[in-house]
Amino acid sequence: MPFNRPNPESKRPGQPEGMLGAWVAAEKMIQIALVLPCAAFIGWLPGYWLDRHFHQKWMAMAGIVLGIIAGLVGAIRMAMTYAADPKLDELDEKGNQAEDPDAHGDRGNAP
């Protein structure tokens, strides 16, 4: 009986496939989905404090609106980044961004 590797090698180095690749993709989508409510909450906090400090009723709503705007900008930027180049999130073994060998142009066959 031939030996089959339990985790097949990915087609691109550094890009996981199978179940791990699905978890990585799901994490990216969850990150995009959570940025909007988190930004709205973070915008609400100073608005709530300003409401209590200055005895006003509109500052918490203004904080929520500014947080939603910031969250939308962040979510759109993340979605555009992930959609534009999937290699941007690949890291090498030291945690640095992996270099694209074609990014420096053709160097020929010189040693």
For the chain, the domains span 36-84
Q: How far apart are CA 22 and CA 108, in angstroms?
A: 38
Residue 93 has pLDDT above 90, yes or no: no
Q: Give the list of residues 6+ apart from residue 51 with CB closer than 8 angstroms, or none.
A: 57, 58, 59, 60
Q: Over the stretch 6-27, which tens digit does the pLDDT of each residue have?
A: 555 445 555 566 778 788 888 8
Q: Fill in the DSSP letter of residue 87.
A: G
Measured at the CA of 59, the angle between CA 56 and CA 64, to 5 degrees, comes to 150
Give the global pTM.
0.58
Number of H-type helices and E-type strands within the chain: 2, 0
Contacts 24+ apart (CB under 8 A), 83-87: 86/15, 87/15
Q: Over the stretch 13-69, which tens digit does the pLDDT of each residue have?
A: 555 667 787 888 888 889 888 999 999 999 999 999 999 999 998 999 999 999 999
